[in-house]
Amino acid sequence: MKHGAGGEKMRQLLDSFVLAKFDKDVGDVPLSALDDSGIVDDLVLTIDGHTVKPLFFPGGDIGSLSVAGTINDVVVMGARPVALALGFVMEEGLDLEILERVTNSISKVSREAGVPIMTGDTKVVEKGAIDELVVTTAGIGVRSEALEHNFEVIGQYRQTDERWVRDSGLREGDKIIVTGTVGDHGIAVLSCREGYGFESDVVSDAQPLNKMIEKALRVGGIVAMKDPTRGGLANTLNEFGEKSGVGIQIEEGQIPMNPTVHAASEMLGIDPLEIGNEGKVVMGVLPEMADAVLECLRKTPEGVQSSIIGEATNEVKGVVMKTLVGGRRIVEPPIGDPIPRIC
Amino acid sequence: MKHGAGGEKMRQLLDSFVLAKFDKDVGDVPLSALDDSGIVDDLVLTIDGHTVKPLFFPGGDIGSLSVAGTINDVVVMGARPVALALGFVMEEGLDLEILERVTNSISKVSREAGVPIMTGDTKVVEKGAIDELVVTTAGIGVRSEALEHNFEVIGQYRQTDERWVRDSGLREGDKIIVTGTVGDHGIAVLSCREGYGFESDVVSDAQPLNKMIEKALRVGGIVAMKDPTRGGLANTLNEFGEKSGVGIQIEEGQIPMNPTVHAASEMLGIDPLEIGNEGKVVMGVLPEMADAVLECLRKTPEGVQSSIIGEATNEVKGVVMKTLVGGRRIVEPPIGDPIPRIC
């Protein structure tokens, strides 16, 4: 299970089986960069399989999750998502009411985000060959005015050849912003899972962030972006640091967190920074622009709880967190996933 | 199982659950057209889930099938495929040798076709939650010079507003070409399936057709195209006829078929015209250009056995076949799929 969890184990699997076989260096953002999407001919392409269990959870379902997750993978490259494709694999005998609820949800989220479902594919397999329903979503995105503006602003402060927002764009001094509370999605899914069920007011944050990010790009100065899904904030920050070749220091007290998520994590013995999110972005922003971007984010419904949690610095190696009690701890990249099958 | 098989039952499912919910009429080739791909902003997007059983079969495997199938869905819109995205959902404990063979195969076919894998996603689910491996592939395509030329040629003979090759493009008198033998893929997969295993020299035709179709478009005059996958030739011809509002008459004696496929179909009591193919295209061509297109196709390695099998005509309703013995029979759209899980 650890191979699919988004941490170090998955990286090893990708390295040995995927990257070794395919043309790693084709395109503007090649496969070898392991960004959230690939880019060729100025088109962003992404794909995401969803196997969340249960299919319905507080604040969302496999449908809303699929649409939000795929839109967000396009969005964090700085692109404007223009269309989605849906691939359903269903177990024979799947309750049609389930299918109806899921497609309703897909429809609603896609409409609200303004990103239409353009094509789809449906396969039915015999009972037992699959656990109810797997939804795989692909998305395409294109360059936008907001993205061009973002790089114009960056160009005023720093020389750059980049045309897309990459994991590798962070430089010393850049501020790290997270656009809201972390850990909600994983805890929400877990709270309703058989055998784990516990009372909780936490709902999933699964939501498309294209509108919020477009506004932030129009302020400008965003040099790196990633949605902290599998592996959570810990994985995202480590990928930023590793790909950008810079250390990152964050402050625990600045990380927005729902108290219930904090309590549930303690109870379950898992690190909330490693829990997957589905409606947050972590970004690196030019120090000169960080306050303006933060202010813009906080004015959006999706980003009200945005916070500057730290900065890129060569004074530390890897990712280091100043804890609430004044200590420091290394935030390691997660080895596996504390909560499997949440996306 | 019939819901996923590509016939009438699937159409009902799509109608009630998918089309009813989504924005049907966005884009140049909207979802409501149920073509092989959707088109928005001159970008072609397609997605395809693969659940073939067994994963390896004579002439191919789930990897080559995924790449070929997705490329071909882009190609039959007349587009040039530029990139693919791969979504793997794997069962925990899947033999890594299987994964290696599949990725090797994906790599090989993608390189030969010149269409790179740009991005991917991997999910692992617990043992029993999925039958070994599901591969979902998405592809994007763009307009090409060959496509522009095709419509210039069409414009010399017929007024048209179309810019893409659609299922609905057929008019009375247009010739129907199939680019090779039908039924091979389904029979090849079935021949090695547990409980069905029989001696057979049939290998799957799974192959990307982008190079062959580009050459044919450069001749020009292709008004409709579809790859006869699920539901086979019978389904494709019925979709052509229904969407174009014209009858189709074909001659049994002109349909290329491997004698073993013919014999196996008789033995199994299934109609070879309903068996899925993975390396063939059915096209409608202007009568004035049909011989030139046929000659071009026959010069390609993929299309050596191409044949003109009939034409669009208002003299019949639906799809009618003149049989070898001189009778006529209606070729109905398949209700289900004679061989499940072949793609």
CA of residue A148 relative to chain centroid, distance:
22
As a whole number of angstroms, the distance between CA A227 and CA A111 comes to 21
> Do B317 and B247 form a contact (C-beta atoms < 8 A)?
yes
Angle of CA points B206, B209, B215, to nearest 5°: 155
What are all long-range contacts of A299-304, with beta carbons under 8 Å and residues at least 24 apart? Answer: A299/A215, A300/A211, A300/A212, A300/A215, A301/A212, A302/A179, A302/A180, A302/A207, A302/A209, A302/A211, A302/A212, A303/A179, A303/A180, A303/A212, A303/A216, A304/A180
Residue at B171: amino acid letter:
R
The structure tokens listed for A177 are 């912003």
Residue B301 has pLDDT above 60, yes or no: yes
Q: Tell me: the pLDDT tens digits for B91-134?
A: 999 998 999 999 999 999 999 999 999 888 888 888 988 899 99
Q: Which of B311, B280, B295, B112 is nearest to B218 (CA)?
A: B295
Between the two ends of chain B, the Cα-to-Cα distance in Å is 13
Q: List Cα–Cα distances, A123 to A97, B5, B106, in angstroms.
A: 17, 7, 21
Whole-number average pLDDT of chain B: 91
Helix axes A62-75, A210-219, angle to 10 degrees: 20
Q: Percent of chain A, pLDDT > 90?
A: 76
| Partner residue opposite B17 with nearest CB, options A2, A100, A138 | A100
Q: Do A37 and B117 touch (CB under 8 A)?
A: no
- Quote the pLDDT of residue A193: 86
Helix (H) or strand (E) holding B99, with range, is helix B96-113
| Partner residue opposite B131 with nearest CB, options A49, A120, A129 | A129
CA of residue B296 relative to chain centroid, distance:
20
pTM: 0.89
B180 against A124, higher pLDDT: B180
Q: List Cα–Cα distances, A65 to A135, A342, B80, B89, B107, in angstroms.
A: 10, 10, 31, 16, 30
Domain boundaries, chain B: 2-330
pLDDT confidence tier of residue B39, bands split at 50, 70 and 90: confident
Q: Tell me: the pLDDT tens digits for A230-265?
A: 999 999 999 999 999 999 999 999 999 999 999 999
- Quote the pLDDT of residue B264: 93
> Do A61 and A207 form a contact (C-beta atoms < 8 A)?
no
Would you say how long chain B is, in residues? 343
Q: Do B43 and A134 touch (CB under 8 A)?
A: no
Residues of B in contact with A130 (CB under 8 A): 51, 129-131, 134
Residues of A in contact with B128 (CB under 8 A): 128, 131
Q: What is the mean pLDDT of residues A101-108?
A: 94
- Compute how many other C-beta atoms are within 10 angstroms of the C-beta atom of residue A271: 15
Residue A303 has pLDDT above 60, yes or no: yes
Q: Using omega within 30 degrees of 0 as the cis cutoff, is the peptide bond preceding B272 cis?
A: no
Would you say how long chain A is, in residues? 343
Minimal CA separation from B165 to chain A, in Å: 16
pLDDT confidence tier of residue A229, bands split at 50, 70 and 90: very high
Residues of B in contact with A4 (CB under 8 A): 90, 122-125
- Quote the pLDDT of residue B30: 67
> Do B280 and B180 form a contact (C-beta atoms < 8 A)?
yes
Q: Do A23 and B92 touch (CB under 8 A)?
A: no
In chain A, the residue whose alpha carbon lies closest to the alpha carbon of B23 is A116
As a whole number of angstroms, the distance between CA A310 and CA A321 comes to 9
As a whole number of angstroms, the distance between CA B149 and CA A211 comes to 39
As a whole number of angstroms, the distance between CA A220 and CA A78 comes to 11
As a whole number of angstroms, the distance between CA A200 and CA B17 comes to 32
For B232: left if phi > 0, alpha if psi spans -120 to 50, otherwise beta; the answer is left
Residue B15 has pLDDT above 90, yes or no: no
Say if strands B222-226 and B282-285 run parallel, antiparallel, or are unpaired.
antiparallel
Beta bridge partners of A60: A57
Q: What is residue B25's DSSP assignment?
A: T
- Would you call B104 exposed, middle or buried from its count of C-beta atoms within 10 A (0-12, 13-18, 19+)? middle
> Do B256 and B310 form a contact (C-beta atoms < 8 A)?
no
Q: Percent of chain B, pLDDT > 90?
A: 76
- Quote the pLDDT of residue A13: 64
Q: Do A129 and B51 touch (CB under 8 A)?
A: yes
Residue B62 has pLDDT above 60, yes or no: yes
Q: What is the mean pLDDT of residues A87-101?
A: 92
Q: Using omega within 30 degrees of 0 as the cis cutoff, is the peptide bond preceding B287 cis?
A: no
| Partner residue opposite A120 with nearest CB, options B18, B82, B142 | B18
Q: What is the mean pLDDT of residues B156-166?
A: 94
> Do B196 and B338 form a contact (C-beta atoms < 8 A)?
no
Residue B277 has pLDDT above 60, yes or no: yes
Helix (H) or strand (E) holding B120, with range, is strand B117-125
Minimal CA separation from B119 to chain A, in Å: 5
- Quote the pLDDT of residue A169: 95
For B145: left if phi > 0, alpha if psi spans -120 to 50, otherwise beta; the answer is alpha
Domain B2-330 of CATH type 3.20.20.70? no
